[in-house]
Chain A
Amino acid sequence: MVTIDYDEPVAPLLHAAAAGDSFAWDTLVDRFSGLLWATARAHRLSQSDAADVVQTTWLRLLENLGRIQEPERLGGWLAVVARRECLLVLKRSHREPPVPADEWLDRVPDQRAPVESAMLVAERDAALWQVFDELPDPCRRLLRVLVADPPPAYAQVADALDIPIGSIGPTRARCLAKLRTLAMQSGALDPDDVVDVSDAALSAGGES
């Protein structure tokens, strides 16, 4: 189960920040910047456009501090703001908005701006990253947000990508299976790398 791994409730932090507590603000920034960055990168924005989207999202919260209706759903609120800003950036750069989630699974990866990546230590990690980057766009987009750090709640992922929350679990499973297959084909993954015996038995039984 994927949930936020930070235990501190958001509402008191939000209230404290609204009262002028900069430490509370910093804590919110630390908690949600990973989600916002992942949202922007999931939309294939460049580093500098992604930085602008994240910054604009925080500025938007700043002017709405004290007016957030459901403080515990702040992550979703931020994700929605970030997604809308991403779509404006895509429009400004004359790029197509993302393919709707219902048109997708086996669309061929098309011409897209490559994601710049920092140096990776392990070659296999680099190969896995490469395969991940070449996934069909809806898969890559969903997984990119799911693997934000800290792990976002499904509700936040749904807000970040404008997809039904109920679709996330099944789509995640299909996309991870697809990525695993591609990664094994390319040598980025050993069969026993992530599949233990019981799971292998399970998939041999027809369930994936």
Chain B
Amino acid sequence: MTTDDTFESRLRDVTSEADPVPEHVVADAKAVFVLRDLDAELAELVADSWVDEPAVLTRALVADVRMLSFVCGDITIELDIDNDPVSGRVHIHGVAVGAAGDVVVVLTGHRLTVPLDDSHFDLELPTGGPLRLELTRPDGGRVTTTWITV
């Protein structure tokens, strides 16, 4: 061991005590294995306004809404996500073209069913966090978006 290795090892011990991975984070990560969905087709994220826009532009638009697009075959899903910095609430306006029936919002702890109104839906969540959307094709086939964090 060099001096640096010894010092780094001491720093690792201190850090492991001062800033450990919380147990609930590990437990939650293990628990999500049951959320695996092998039957649904995955709608990939094809556009994210917070990632795709040049940094200079987004810096000027910091308070702006985040826009996401997902595609899976003939289904397209567009989301406008608006985080209220004061209340922490998250408002999502969505358009799901090509889907039928309801949209199911899958959060890591529970699921919400939101009706589609002429391809549109609105959703308000008390706090942000990881979620995905499940939709149904007119022929009954299931489609799920990739996980996102809002």
Residues of A whose CB lies within 8 Å of any CB of B are: 2, 17, 22, 25-26, 29-30, 33-34, 37, 41, 47, 50-56, 58-60, 62-63, 65, 84-85, 88-89, 91-94, 97, 115-118, 120-121, 125-126, 128-129, 132, 143-144, 146-149, 151, 172-173, 176, 179-180, 193-196, 199
Contacts and interface: CB of A to CB of B under 8 A. Distances in A.
B147 A56 contact: yes
Interface in B106-150: 108, 128-130, 132, 144, 146-149
B14 interface: yes
Contacts of A60: 146-147
B125 to A, nearest CB: 13
Contacts of B62: 91, 94
A132 B2 CA distance: 20
B104 to A, nearest CB: 16
A54 B130 CA distance: 10
B4 A33 contact: no
Contacts of B37: 63
Nearest to A144: B15
B17 interface: yes
Which 6 residue pairs of A and B lie closest in terms of their CB atoms, listed nearest first? A59-B147, A117-B18, A147-B12, A199-B3, A37-B21, A58-B29
Nearest to A188: B14
A58 B28 CA distance: 9
Nearest to B42: A63
Given A56-B149, A60-B146, A180 B7 contact: yes
Contacts, number: 144
Nearest to B48: A88
9 contacts: A26-B30, A51-B22, A88-B51, A120-B18, A125-B18, A132-B11, A132-B14, A176-B8, A194-B7
B26 A30 contact: yes
A195 B30 contact: no
B16 interface: yes
Contacts of B57: none
A91 B49 CA distance: 11
A92 B12 contact: no
Contacts of A85: 149
B56 interface: no
A63 B39 CA distance: 11
Contact of A55 (B14, B25, B55): B25
Nearest to A177: B4
Contacts of A41: 19
A194 B19 CA distance: 22
Nearest to B58: A91
Nearest to B6: A194
B21 A33 contact: yes
B11 A53 contact: no
